[in-house]
Structure 1
Amino acid sequence: MKVFFITTNINKYKEAKQVLEEYNIKLMLLKYPLMEIQSKSLVESIIWKGAQGFKILDEYYIVEDAGLFIKPLKGFPGVYSSYIYKTIGINGILKLMDNISNREAYFEAVGFLSLKNNIFKLFVERVHGIISNEIRGDRGFGFDPIFIPRGSNKTYAEMDLSEKNRFSHRGKLFRKIGEYIKNNILHGKSI
């Protein structure tokens, strides 16, 4: 089965493609810059962003967004993660975390799967972990070099793609999407 992933982020595409291959789903990249709204909710943002796809594509497609939420910073950068990464970057986050012993954080990913005819299904996945004291690793992208998921002693940036997909919010999200497609679309059940 063929499903499109609407994103301009090739790294997200590579991660998602590897996971969905396990479900015999061929993920096709559609580089299209969807408009984003500023919202305090990833779910609200992804619904708005995902609905734009109905205007450009009459196929199954996925839109995904994620954010890093740091507990002692009251959830910052959260839904603004991309903007914060582009402005103050990883070093800026580490500076904000100077002298803070509580390093708890989580990544949240939200996925929008179009089921055609303006119908969609949402998926949410969250992975808890901690913020490292320093930049570690040279793989991945975004805040990967400072996030250590629960159950590992490595940052995402220290993991190869397969290992990261086992631990990451995006890997888990796309497994949920893959299971849903396998059980409800590929096997002809009603959606």
Structure 2
Amino acid sequence: MKNGERTISSALKNSILLVTSNENKYKEIAEIAKDYKVELEWLKIPKLEIQADTLEEVVRYSAIVIFQLVKRPLIVEDSGLFIKSLNDFPGPYTNYVRRKLGLEGILKLLEGKNDRSAYFKTSLCYIDEARQLLFNGTVNGRISDTIRGEKGFGFDPIFIPEGESRTFAEMSTEEKNRYSHRSKAFKAFLEYYTNQ
């Protein structure tokens, strides 16, 4: 096993599970957790993604189902890219659209459009025996004209956060976490969790 990855049977009892099959997401979030001295374990399984109109519905459903299986405090996170001139498409369908259309497909849909404003949003659901809590994070920005950068994942190479000229894929993890929607949602959770 690597980078904090665990299976259900080998998970430690006093930590929070992060449910994702995406190693990059785990690394981003684990970096933030260190600052709060929270032990985070990677439960490397895919979240159950229902078709829904909001990210909150997706993460809540997945968290409830997985909690019934593992009976451990856990976090499920989902992020979406919302593009204004495309009526907030792809939104909660971002992962599916990335697989089917890719970065080039989104850039093609935006050809001839002057408004390239967009935002990334993360919804995170924490669940344990007593609570189901939702935390959100948003970062405004715009879609670049071209694919830029080798770092990051997903739509990072075409998203430029507000106040920047670089895409997320042109930033280090530490730099991205200063702006990131995922970082904002997770920090909101950690502030709550470490101050209860």
TM-score range, shorter chain: over 0.9
> What are the residue-to-residue correspondences of 1:75-86 with 2, within 5 Å?
75-86=88-99
TM-score after normalising by structure 2: 0.90
* Aligned-pair CA distance for 1:33: 2.4
Q: Match of 2:111, SS?
A: coil
Partner of 1:188: none
> Contact between 1:138 and 1:158, CA under 8 Å: does it hold in 2?
yes
Flag structure 2 segments of 5+ consecutive residues without an equivalent: 1-13
Give matches, 1:116-135, under 5 Å.
116-117=129-130, 119-135=131-147
Provide the C-alpha distance between the structure 2 equivalents of 1:52 and 1:31, rounded to a whole number of angstroms.
15
Q: TM-score, normalised by structure 1?
A: 0.93
What is the alpha-carbon distance in structure 1 between the residues aligned to residue 32 and residue 20 of structure 2?
A: 16
Pairs aligned (count)? 183
Q: Is the 8 A contact 2:67 2:73 kept in 1?
A: no
> Within 1, Cα distance between the matches of 2:191 and 2:179?
17
Q: Give a deviation string over 1:65-112, Cα, whole Å, max 9, x none.
A: 010000000001111100000011000000011111111000010000
State how 1:43-122 maps to structure 2 within 5 Å: 43-117=56-130, 119-122=131-134
Does 48-57 or 160-169 show the bigger shift?
Answer: 48-57
CA contact (8 A) 1:137 1:158 kept: yes
Say whether residues 1:5 and 2:18 are aligned partners. Answer: yes
- Off by >3 Å, runs of 4+ in structure 1: none
- Superposed CA deviations along residues 12-44 of structure 1, whole A, max 9, x for unmatched, are 100000011110011100012232110111111
Deviates more, 1:5-14 or 1:26-35: 26-35
Counterpart contact for 2:148–2:169, Cα < 8 Å: yes
Q: Quick one: percent identity of the two aligned structures?
A: 43
Amino acid at match of 2:49: E
Opposite residue 48 of structure 1, the aligned amino acid is Y
